[in-house]
Structure 1
Amino acid sequence: MAALRRMVVTGGPGTGKSTLIDELARRGLATEPEVARAILRKDGGMALRAGDPAGFADAMFDAELSAYRRAEAGSCPILFDRGFPDIAGFLHLEGLPVPAAIDRACRELRYEGPIFRAPPWSAIYRRDAERIQDWDAAVASDAAVSAAWREYGYSPIDLPLADPAQRADFVMSHLPVAP
């Protein structure tokens, strides 16, 4: 049996992460969706994000921890749409401290990688009901989450600015090969 590999796609909003995740799932790769979007879609989710960023971060952490634990119980590689350092980056962007539990998770609950970064890409960026940031805020978000991943010892690999199929090919070419 191949060693469990937890991989991540990170980056700012509107960079094609979810579209890439969907394409990779279509190709048979096990994936975990973005927890923040799920929270934002629930009743009160947008209000929580706007009115209580620390509470929103706590909700993301609880959901991300559950996803991480589900992956531990599995036996195949899995690609996450974001991870614990994304939460730390969000908190930094909001000017808030990173709680000890989130910092500890970033340091101790490791993703084996690879970690892929979807860089800001103005040609595909669109605001929607959950993606409320303007372009400048989206770029700042990318900078914050990218810095957090590096702060916690990861070296993200930039995805090419290409269509979803080409990006998926790129990811697949970087996946670990079973022994």
Structure 2
Amino acid sequence: MLERDLRTYSAARALSGPIIFDRGIPDTLGYLKLCGLPVPPHVAAAAKAARYNRRVFLAPFWDEIFTQDTERKQTRAEAEATCAVMREAYTALGYKITELSRADVERQTKLT
């Protein structure tokens, strides 16, 4: 996961304009914590060295739309815990979290 994120980060640095990542290097820290595993020094170093914009977006756990399927295997509790550890990982690295709103697309479109 870290290798893929580092490659994506490196490739994005050569592009111009705004770039939005679905996942980032700090996610590796969050998943290690979620699984109760230690964070190897090289993972912590990569998360500190390869920086994104200070402001990051977080899609919060949303009970009303939670579902499990072939792609989403986490339980409700795991999904909530994942959101919490991602918030902690990014905050600990000095990122400012902007939580995405919990509104459906139709409602969001009317608001903008």
Q: Find the counterpart in structure 1 of residue 42 from structure 2.
A: 101
Q: Find the counterpart in structure 1 of residue 84 from structure 2.
A: 143
Per-residue deviation, 1:114: 2.5
The one of 49, 53, 56 equivalent to 1:112 is 53
Question: Sequence identity of aligned pairs in percent?
Answer: 40
Distance 1:118 1:87 in 2: 17
Per-residue deviation, 1:113: 4.0
Distance 1:164 1:101 in 2: 40
Amino acid at match of 1:64: D
Q: Find the counterpart in structure 2 of residue 71 from structure 1.
A: 12
The two structures, once aligned, show a CA RMSD in angstroms of 1.8
Amino acid at match of 2:69: D
Deviations 1:94-135 (A, max 9, x none): 111112221111111100143011111011111122321111
Deviations 1:122-152 (A, max 9, x none): 1111112232111111101111111111111
Seen in structure 2, the aligned counterparts of structure 1 residues 145 and 119 have a Cα distance that, compared at 3 Å, is: same
The one of 21, 39, 45 equivalent to 1:80 is 21
Alignment of 1:27-106 (within 5 A): 60-106=1-47
Asked if residue 126 in structure 1 is aligned to residue 67 in structure 2, the reply is yes
**Runs of 5+ unmatched residues, structure 2:** none
Q: RCO greater where, 1 or 2, for CA within 8 Å and sep 6 or more? A: 1
Amino acid at match of 1:75: S
- Contact 2:90 2:97 (8 Å CA) reproduced: yes
Distance 1:127 1:113 in 2: 32
Per-residue deviation, 1:153: 0.9
Distance 1:69 1:164 in 2: 32
Residues matched between the structures, number = 110
Seen in structure 2, the aligned counterparts of structure 1 residues 164 and 110 have a Cα distance that, compared at 3 Å, is: farther
Amino acid at match of 1:159: L
Tell me which stretches of 4 or more aligned residues in structure 1 moved more than 3 Å: none
